[in-house]
Amino acid sequence: MDQKVKNARILFKVLAMFTAMFFVMAVVYGIMNGNLNDMIPGFIRILRSPAQCTQDMYGVSVPGTYFNMGMCCLLMLVYIVCCGGKDSVNSGTVAAFFLTVGFSSWGMNIINMLPLMIGMQVYALIKKKTPASMMNLGIFATAIAPIMSEVMFRWPGYNATVDGVANVNTTSLNAFKESGLEVLSNLPIQPTGILIAFIIAILFCLFYPALCAKAPNFHMGCDLFNAGPPAGFLCLMTIGFLFKVTNIGTGISNGPGQSTVEVFEFVFISYAIVFLICFIIGLALDKDALKNYGKLLKDSGQGSDFIEKYGIGAAMINFAIYGLFILLFYTCMKYCFGAKFSGPIAGVVWCAFTWVAAGAHPLNVLPIGIGYVLISLVSTQVCPALGIGADTGRLGMSTVGILIAFSYATGMAPISGKYGVIWGILAGVMHFAIVTLIPLQYNFFNFYNGGFTAGVVAFVLVPFIEHYFIKEAK
């Protein structure tokens, strides 16, 4: 059997292991907290909730959230099998899988994923490509899944009051409780909305592959979230036609907002166990896995496929060590800055994990994290001490939006890997500075906001580095 096929089958089983983990988490949490009977009803409420970023699905149901994460994983595995891609699973599939599951605790679900995944197969049919060849991009296309939920449940006529529930412009769960309003999490589906969702999905998927093919020219391959800028641009166009041309309002979704539920110990132990299993698998697959992992840590990450270059054993070791690194980074943010392990943070661990097999490792991501922490201290400590700006609403490493944004900033790992630690730190600083501005442009309907921002930073920073600090060959 070809080695690529062997690796593909191993990776498929590893992805199945992660899928099982989320289902186990749903059941165990439900039993521990006496709300197992809310797992399926909670999951159904999540399916019928608004999906604009960022919704904390813990506010709907914690066991339902983990069950939703498992169902999203399961849908991707079924999609891979149906596309005939079980023997074609690669580092790109791993990236698409973990990026998508990372959203499933704050907006992604099997209903808003499906139209886009099918839309990419329509593209494959039109262009006479094999389903397996478009499999990864079909999963990446779920970037605009929030739009699918919006048109299926609310667009164009969900205004003022429907079913006795006011559609209020706020993201705060506490604001809902104080006002006596019900959080929207059980919306009726619109039959015409399903048709509109599929039309938008197909149109999106007709443009998306073409833009993704040219995206590296935009950021010179220094944003691992290659699908981020195309998703951002197409989302802008879609929102423009849906809401600006029609003059339909796009207030912030009154879904579950940010809940007060936190289950840090449960999440940490669950994730750490599966990372430990990955370490054991890596050692079992290759006796030279640790030696090859030492070589992997010297890789810049630009255009890298760790599985092909260093073997699947070393790649699995990176699954373990890099996964623990990301988990410990967020743990430090909790204990040093007071960050809470809410639904989004439990999810974005996996968004940060995205390029574990294709460019990201602890040494090229750490400088970006340092940059984030340093600029957050400037915002929260230095500026107030100097009397600059208002004290309320400052961005720091306890802010949910910033913690989410860091997971995408990891996509700039090739900048620190190729150009050095200082440039990696600066990339993190620049990403932090602009990442919260971008979502406003498309009303929080694009999951790949941070990937889009990483592309913008790379577009500005990399040519500057090349122009002033890299000597051209004579």
- In this prediction, residue 222 carries a pLDDT of 86
Residues 6+ apart with CB under 8 A from 6: none
Phi, psi angles (nearest 5°) of residue 52: -60, 145
User: What 3-state DSSP class applies to 306?
Assistant: helix
**CA–CA separation, 449 vs 145, rounded Å?**
13
Compute the average pLDDT of residues 209-216.
88
Average pLDDT, the chain: 89
Helix 110-126 vs helix 62-82: angle between axes, to the nearest 10 degrees?
20
pLDDT computed for residue 280 by the predictor = 97
CA distances from 449 to 52, 83, 103, 108, 401 (A): 12, 28, 12, 14, 11
| Residue range 69-82: mean pLDDT, rounded | 98
Local confidence band at 249 (pLDDT 50, 70, 90 cut-offs): low
Please say whether the dihedral angle defined by the alpha carbons of residues 348, 33, 41 and 55, taken in this order, is positive or negative.
Answer: negative
* Span 116-131, average pLDDT: 97
* pLDDT higher than 90, residue 256: no
- The answer to whether residues 138 and 80 touch, using CB atoms and an 8 Å cutoff, is no
Rounded to an integer, what distance in angstroms lies between the CA atom of residue 263 and that of residue 17?
22
Domain locations in the chain as residue ranges:
1-360
Is the pLDDT at 183 greater than 60? The verdict is no
At residue 178, the pLDDT reads: 46
What tens digit of pLDDT does each residue of 438-451 get? 887 777 899 998 98
